[in-house]
Every structure is written in C-alpha cells, then in structure tokens.
C-alpha cells in the first residue's frame, strides 16, 4: 500500500467516476484500475461496487475512506511543511550574538522575522564569544555573530560574512574631555572610569603598542561588562569613558586621543563546518550585510 494508491482511492471516491478520476489524476483508466485493484488486494476487501459505468463505495470502502483521507491529508501537510522548512519560512533559528552585534543586530533581526517570517521561531542568545562558541559546538545554537579576533583557529567552525566596525574612546557631549580641537592623552582618559566589554588579546596588544603598558586592559578598564548597551548607558549618565564600537552609541562622541587609536572591531558569522545548517540561516546570510551597513550609516 502506498500513499499514491490511497490518493487515487480518495479522488475516485470523491468524483465517483473512473473517467473523471483518471482525468483529475492525469492517469489512463487502466492505470487507475490497476492501482485500485492492487489496493483492494492488499486491504483484503472490495472498495467499490461497480454497477455498469457507475461506482459506489462499499461499507468496507466507507470505513477505509475516512482513514485514507487522514493519511493523505497528513502527507500533504508534511510535504508543505517540508517546503516551508527548506525555504526557511517556518521552523526554528537559534542565533548567538556577542556584545556589539547584540546591541546592533538584535532589533533588526527580530523586526525582519516578525514582518517577513512570522511563523519562524527565532531565539537570540547573548553572551561573550567563548560562551557562544561553546553553545554552537554543543548544537544549542545554529550560528553566532562574534568578535572573530577572539577565536582560536578551529577546523570545526567556519567564519563567513566578516565585517569591521570602527571603535574608540567615547564620551557624552558635555564631558570635560569633549572640548573641540583638544587632543587628549591616555593619562587624561584614565583620570575617569574606563568602561569596556571584554577585549580580545589582539586589541590589548594594539592598546599597549599605542600607549604603553599602562593601556593594558586588565589595569586600564575599571568597568567591565558583557553588554555594550549597559556600558554605553553608564557613559551617557556619568563621566565614564567607554571603549566600544562607535555605531553602538551614535549619540556619544569620539575623543581625539593622541596618538590616534584607529581601532576596528572585526566580527563574523560563525557556523559549524561539518553540520548542515538550519534552512532559515539563508535569511540571516542574505540580510546581515544590509543590517551591518545600516548600523554603520552606509
């Protein structure tokens, strides 16, 4: 017994004619007759009484029809669900976002899914790079957007869609150091609390190269938090200086620190290298360049 045979049976029962059913199914009448006979042989009973050119369901046929309808209907629903999953229109997408990507991309990601893919279940997890990569390896996430400078080379993970965002020392507009045309030294900066998310070793080396051992983040940073938006809010409401991605705080201004920092944060989409990705990842890959460009004001 096959689903094809059951579908033939349901269509024939609905139209009540081999001629009409053959046309609806794009089959020849002999082919449809063979299909119904094979189904009757397997079920062990006659499904139709044949009265000349007319047919009618037998009592046994009526019993089988109700179950056949459910099976054919379930199969069609499964087929449509499969198409939807493959297209990324339904199902689940689990994304990890580190500090700056979380601040910049969480809202655009959820807005896009709400407007264009309302049946897709989206789960956003926030955390530092190490935590998110561990969750990715444990298959608790489908993808993560993290600081790829904080990653160790690994054969089990692949990075795509890398992008860079300018970063620097930011303060509120009426901060004592925010005087037009004034060059600020690191000593000036360190006279105030310095806030930052955890920094990669590469950024730490850059800071030390530019400003000397005093710029070691372990000593320089006095307020450390995984959430960019939290440290930015502290800078808005106090004289703290925040070291972060410029795009996270468009209302803050960048200090002209001498020598100039010229730092960039480098992020990327990280996925398992040897595991088939969730179908909805296609949507994330298509939209990520647009979202990052918008975050940079491009």
Choosing from 87, 110, 129, the residue where a domain stops is 87
3-state SS, one letter per residue, for the chain: CCHHHHHHHHHHHHHCCHHHHHHHHCCCHHHHHHHHHHHHHHHCCCCEEEECCEEEECHHHHHHHHHHHHHHHHHHHHHHHHHHHHHCCCEEEEEEECHHHHHHHHHHHHHHHHHHCCCEEEEEEECCHHHHHHHHHCCCCCEEEEEHHHCCCCCCEEEEEEEEEEEEEEECCCCCCCCCCCCECHHHHCCCCEEECCCCHHHHHHHHHHHCHHHCHHHHCCEECCCHHHHHHHHHHCCCEEEEEHHHCCCCEECCECCCCCEEEEEEEEEECCCCCCCCHHHHHHHHHHHHHHHCCC
Q: What is the CATH number of the domain that holds 222?
A: 3.40.190.290
Taking only the tens place, the pLDDT of each residue in 251-281 is: 999 999 999 888 888 999 999 987 777 888 8
Note whether 170 and 251 are same-domain residues.
yes
Note whether 150 and 275 are same-domain residues.
yes
Note whether 236 and 181 are same-domain residues.
yes
Note whether 172 and 231 are same-domain residues.
yes
Note whether 170 and 244 are same-domain residues.
yes
The reported pLDDT for the residue numbered 84 is: 56
Note whether 157 and 239 are same-domain residues.
no
The reported pLDDT for the residue numbered 91 is: 78
Note whether 35 and 83 are same-domain residues.
yes
Note whether 13 and 130 are same-domain residues.
no
Range of lowest pLDDT (28-42, 77-91, 115-129): 77-91
Q: What is the CATH number of the domain that holds 123?
A: 3.40.190.10
Q: What is the mean pLDDT of the chain?
A: 88
Domain tally for the chain?
Answer: 3
Question: Taking residues 114-123, what's their average pLDDT?
Answer: 90
Question: Taking residues 275-289, what's their average pLDDT?
Answer: 86
The reported pLDDT for the residue numbered 66 is: 84
Note whether 45 and 193 are same-domain residues.
no
The reported pLDDT for the residue numbered 101 is: 94
Taking only the tens place, the pLDDT of each residue in 204-257 is: 999 999 999 999 999 999 999 989 999 999 999 999 999 999 999 999 999 999
The reported pLDDT for the residue numbered 18 is: 85
Note whether 246 and 261 are same-domain residues.
yes
Whether the per-residue pLDDT at 82 is higher than 80: the answer is: no
Whether the per-residue pLDDT at 9 is higher than 60: the answer is: yes
Whether the per-residue pLDDT at 107 is higher than 90: the answer is: yes
Whether the per-residue pLDDT at 297 is higher than 70: the answer is: no
Whether the per-residue pLDDT at 121 is higher than 80: the answer is: yes
Q: Domain range holding 83?
A: 3-87
Choosing from 43, 59, 87, the residue where a domain stops is 87
Residue with tokens 């939290």: 230
Whether the per-residue pLDDT at 76 is higher than 90: the answer is: no
Note whether 284 and 149 are same-domain residues.
yes
The reported pLDDT for the residue numbered 185 is: 94
| Residue with the larger pLDDT of the pair 236 and 71 | 236
Whether the per-residue pLDDT at 200 is higher than 90: the answer is: no
Choosing from 69, 87, 105, the residue where a domain stops is 87
Range of lowest pLDDT (77-81, 166-170, 284-288): 77-81
Note whether 215 and 286 are same-domain residues.
no
């Amino acid at each position: 017994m096959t689903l094809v045979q059951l579908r033939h049976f349901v269509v024939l029962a609905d139209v009540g004619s081999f001629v009409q059913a053959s046309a609806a199914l794009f089959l020849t009448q002999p082919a449809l007759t063979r299909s119904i006979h094979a189904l009757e042989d397997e079920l062990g009973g006659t499904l139709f009484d044949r009265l000349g050119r007319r047919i009618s369901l037998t009592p046994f046929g009526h019993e089988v029809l109700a179950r056949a309808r459910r099976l054919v209907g379930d199969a069609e629903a499964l087929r449509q669900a499969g198409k939807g999953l493959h297209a990324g229109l339904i199902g689940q997408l689990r994304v990890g976002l580190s500090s700056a990507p979380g601040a910049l991309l969480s809202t655009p990601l959820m807005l896009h899914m709400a407007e264009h893919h309302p049946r897709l279940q989206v789960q956003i997890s926030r955390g530092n790079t190490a935590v998110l990569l561990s969750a990715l390896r444990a298959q608790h996430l489908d993808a993560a957007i993290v600081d790829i400078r904080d990653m160790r080379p690994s054969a089990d993970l692949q990075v795509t869609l890398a992008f860079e965002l300018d970063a620097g020392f930011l303060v509120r507009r009426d901060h004592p150091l925010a005087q037009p045309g004034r060059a600020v030294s690191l000593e000036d900066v360190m006279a105030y609390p310095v806030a930052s998310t955890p920094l990669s070793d590469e950024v730490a080396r850059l800071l030390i190269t530019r400003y000397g051992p005093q710029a070691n983040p372990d000593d320089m940073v006095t307020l450390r938090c995984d959430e960019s938006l939290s440290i930015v809010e502290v800078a808005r409401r106090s004289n703290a200086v925040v070291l972060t991605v410029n795009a996270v705080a468009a209302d803050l201004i960048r200090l002209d620190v001498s020598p100039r920092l010229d730092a960039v944060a480098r992020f990327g989409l990280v996925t398992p290298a040897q595991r088939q990705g969730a179908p909805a990842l296609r949507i994330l890959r298509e939209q990520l360049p647009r979202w990052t460009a918008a975050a940079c004001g491009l």
